[in-house]
Chain A
């Protein structure tokens, strides 16, 4: 009866998990495996100017929110400057300021830009059209004339916008456009004029300054283009040819025709922009996509949590996989370990220190600790003070190891400090008792058993595909739970037991 109950429970858990996973993969189109080769670009803007022994201020545009790209890992690097970011009309700016700027100043902005897999369907409200600046009668007539002419030559909004741009940017514009432009014939002025013309036709338009994301560019330049609003969305147009923009590799940086940066209190300012393609780990990119997707179900999942919490869960969620492996190793294989979950905790510590160094550290600290524990034994201390003494010694050992490894240039040693100290102490204590009571063989057996299990657990927890799968489909833990419950009623032999009783199998029947 209880067994049937268990089977039903396990089946229900499994079905729920498979159902959810199927929904996520088939309906929400979650990839089952981390998607390989995700492109990302590292962008760096370096601004330099000469300080004049006086207060200086630099205001620099940084990427705004984009439909196709997302900006992450932003860094503002400067020496001695106060930094703050501002937002106005959707543009983002960073403002660096200093009381006294002396000599050549360098300020850096760095960020990683990634494409968003499927465009966010953000409902954009129809933007307000700024009332055109006071125009005199002749200008108004010229605008009307151009628009009437364009209207006659276009079929829909797209061709309309296209026509306007072509007329304005033409090297030999007709008389009306010429009179509107006057002497301002730079490309920026022409775009401004186009925006004004489109406003006259009640089509909201704006200038966008953006950057082309390419494999490598040392002196990348910002490209202006025009966006016009119709059919409930913004559409990009090449400001010279008037063609609708097809280019998917342009990331918008700011709107308007201002300069990239403004410096006050500095001379000879220069900006240098570097763009570099960075093929990042598939895992990161895939998780990243998941976050940008945000369907309703995701909001109520791990992917809806803030970044730093997600990072914690990325570790926590693979723990059950390790625990399950531990159950198998203990109850089906029959490996002897210290404590029940200690190997899992050691495996978690290995994540911080990396495997090989982790093993060396573990062995080193435990054996040194053991030696000290045996010495303390001679002092006939009571249990709790002795444990505390071992803990203090372990802490000092780890500190020493860190210092030495740093001096020797093995930087990794530093992260050993995250090794769970109490666990090491308890390991040493348990091991020394087993050593005394059951001999060195048994103690080493259990110690090596713990280490082997920890390594196995570490290896499985570090598999990228498992990390990805458990993180994106946390419901797969239900399957794991079901399997663990079933293992709870596994009454077959353990592998080690078969070996232990093999003397019985041999003789007779």
Chain B
């Protein structure tokens, strides 16, 4: 049974973890370039240099001593996001939506006092959320006011668009929608929904929730497919540009849509997950092989985006 299933998956060109690691990550992503995506502070600096729009950075906490000064630094911002610079998988991110006297209100409505907030930042600094437990930095940044386009199909939090970029060409994408289960976070393994996006048109396709294909948002009950993602071409161009930004051959780019500022690049991932295949009901492998054959003639960003829209549309 399993063998038959495996053969079927292979026929559909589904990429497995082993093959992703061996054939794409190990061969196209030099280890030395990892810090550019693993350290979100560095990513942000690179993006700003290249003129790519990113959420504004309010403050960086690098050493324990600075934790106490943090409250003062962010006094003027009613809402913000605290995240570990080297966090993995969305762990350790706290989204503050407002204030109540001296307390902070998280997006799920829970109130957090100064002490708890400081403890959380200390935890981030001591490396609790970073890979391998190395000491980390905490970033405080602009909380994205998300575009109402996804309002009907997300539960709190910020939905984001994930685009897989191979050798500078966007090959597959999805929008990740927070649910009650994911606590407002947009990571699939935390329970968010992933809906595939047609690269050619920017319209949402089927969706995946906890490894299953779904058509409605589990919390709002609204249809998740057939929604037009705004600024689609611009998002494709930003994703394609990230290849130059980092030098990585195979990466996942996470973008968010702000109500006023348009698409912003949130972060990148050198080992993007494979669930995107379920969200799109399609395997990555045929697309990646196509890129391998054709990438040489495609130099500038526009050419690459055109190539992507031409070949990776949903038919």
Contact = CB atoms under 8 A, between A and B. Distances in A.
A331 B21 CA distance: 11
Interface string A493-509: 11101111111110111
Interface stretch (B98-106, B118-126, B162-170, B250-258): B118-126
Contacts of B123: 382-383
Interface string A475-509: 00000000000001111111101111111110111
Nearest to B1: A498
Specify which of A488, A494, A500 lies most central, judged by the most chain B CB atoms within 10 Å of its CB: A500
Contacts of A507: 281
B214 to A, nearest CB: 10
A433 B16 contact: no
Interface residues of A, number: 30
Contact of B14 (A433, A504, A508): A504
A207 B89 CA distance: 82
B87 to A, nearest CB: 10
Contacts of B278: 500-501, 503-504
Given A489-B22, A503-B212, A509 B9 contact: no
Contact of B9 (A383, A488, A490, A501): A501
Interface residues of B, number: 40
B110 interface: no
Contacts of B283: 504
B128 A509 contact: no
Nearest to B124: A383
A505 B12 contact: yes
Q: Most B CB atoms within 10 A — which of A380, A382, A491?
A: A491
Contact of B18 (A382, A492, A500): A492
Nearest to A506: B8
B159 interface: no
Interface in B189-213: 189-190, 208, 211-213
Contacts, number: 88
B179 to A, nearest CB: 13
Interface in B1-47: 2, 5-6, 8-12, 14, 16-19, 22-23
A437 B278 CA distance: 24
Contacts of B211: 500, 503
B122 to A, nearest CB: 6
A124 interface: no
Contacts of B128: 383, 433
Contacts of A438: 189-190
A493 B115 contact: no
B16 A497 contact: yes
A491 B12 contact: no
A490 B26 CA distance: 13
Nearest to A384: B126
Contacts of B8: 505
A382 B126 contact: yes
A504 B8 CA distance: 9
The 4 closest A-B CB pairs, nearest first, are A383-B126, A491-B19, A505-B8, A380-B119
Interface of A: 331, 334, 380, 382-384, 433, 437-438, 442, 488-495, 497-505, 507-509
Interface of B: 2, 5-6, 8-12, 14, 16-19, 22-23, 64, 91-92, 115-116, 119, 122-123, 126-129, 133, 189-190, 208, 211-213, 274, 277-278, 281-283
